[in-house]
Amino acid sequence: MSTGSLNINLEALKRNWAALDARSASGVETGAVVKANGYGLGSAQVARALAQAGARKFFVATAEEGSAVREVLGRGPEIFVFGGHMSGDTDMINDLDLIPMLNSVDQLTRHFEALPGAAFGIQLDTGMNRLGMEMAEWAAVAEIALTAGPRLVMSHLACADEPDHPQNAQQLATFHAMTDGINVPRSLSATGGILLGPDYHFDVTRPGVGLYGGLPFEEAEPVVNLSLPVIQTREVEQGESVGYSATWIAEEDSVVATVSGGYADGLIRAMSGRGHLFFDGTPCPIVGRVSMDLITVDVTHLAATPRMLDILGPDQTIDDLADVAGTIGYEILTSLGARYKRRYVGDLV
């Protein structure tokens, strides 16, 4: 096999959902965010597993993503679209019973005119300044919108992964000011907000990255294991260089393994000369530049020639790898390339 093997543990995914559901206050419904193709792991398999775990509300970024999830789940579960009702989405929203989270007066007008009586939600901006209606805009349309009966009113926390950040309390207060007294389910928290405690939970929570093994949910089980096949090993003499631009020069006679994987597979160039792969728990440093399809690794210290090296797994989480590359676990997950042989572990009906 000349491509990496990406193992996705759906049972761990389900357990992470159950653990975050248990963290939610009594009476709060726990949904699931499956946008970006299930955080890069396959929205079909991920959504089906989370439905088995108990999720009945699913959140995606676009109507097209909602279409893929609806095809898997069938009718029944609610699918909310964070991007709202965009021009050209009307038929898809109508035919597939998607619920757009309306972000502006323009979207509200489009939805009410194109699909009168169809389900919708409202997204409010409480300080992130990204999506949603601000205070004045909401005040102008709240009566009309609430009379039509939205399925959900939500906002999104900007700093929930920093529990002591003052903006968390500010956004909570703003959300109360904008929504207290409405007879509509409310949602403020994704993974980080769940961990902030019950004051942030309201009626529905929307865990995302924590389901997939990422921070800030430190108790999450790892969901992915990525092993890369060794294509070739070679002896590199002291003073010889490896890879593009000769950025690594052997200080002693070395053995270097070339593995199948690179930035075309989501293993970004910033890992060059900084990251590690693992063989039976032993770290093996990346040497030279990460290229499009290949990574070179120093395996001089290994007693045996490896057939595979792990870059994600029990020895290195998505956030460990992200720290090395100067990014976040979300980017590592959602960048995992299409060339990997994906294997799903766990029961799917």
Using the predicted structure, report yes or no on whether residue 12 has a pLDDT greater than 90: yes
Q: Show me where the domains of the chain are located.
A: 31-212, 224-345
Helices assigned H by DSSP within the chain: 10-23, 35-39, 43-53, 63-73, 90-95, 105-114, 135-148, 166-179, 191-196, 318-325, 329-335
Quick one: fold of 224-345? Answer: Lyase, Ornithine Decarboxylase; Chain A, domain 1 (2.40.37)
pLDDT digits (tens, 9 = 90+) for 128-161: 999 999 999 999 999 999 999 999 999 999 999 9
pLDDT digits (tens, 9 = 90+) for 227-266: 999 999 999 999 999 999 999 999 999 999 999 999 999 9
pLDDT digits (tens, 9 = 90+) for 52-66: 999 999 999 999 999
- pLDDT confidence tier of residue 18, bands split at 50, 70 and 90: very high
pLDDT digits (tens, 9 = 90+) for 152-177: 999 999 999 999 999 999 999 999 99
pLDDT digits (tens, 9 = 90+) for 259-298: 999 999 999 999 999 999 999 999 999 999 999 999 999 9
Q: What is the pLDDT of residue 346?
A: 84
pLDDT, averaged across the chain: 96
35 is catalytic: yes
CA distance 314 to 280: 10
**How many Cα atoms occupy the beta-carbon half-sphere of 335 within 13 Å?**
18
- The percentage of the chain sitting over the pLDDT mark of 90, rounded to a whole number, equals 97
- Of the residues 57, 200, 212, 244, only one is catalytic, namely 244
Using the predicted structure, report yes or no on whether residue 349 has a pLDDT greater than 80: no
Q: What is the pLDDT of residue 348?
A: 55
Residue type present at position 113: E
**261, 294 contact by CB (below 8 A):** yes
14 is catalytic: no
Quick check: pTM over 0.75?
A: yes
Provide the terminal-to-terminal Cα distance of the chain, rounded to the nearest Å.
29
- Of the residues 14, 35, 340, 344, only one is catalytic, namely 35
Using the predicted structure, report yes or no on whether residue 81 has a pLDDT greater than 80: yes
Cβ-Cβ contacts under 8 Å for 288 (sequence gap 6 or more)? 241, 242, 243, 244, 247, 248, 272, 273, 296
Quick one: fold of 31-212? Answer: TIM Barrel (3.20.20)
pLDDT digits (tens, 9 = 90+) for 195-238: 999 999 999 999 999 999 999 999 999 999 999 999 999 999 99
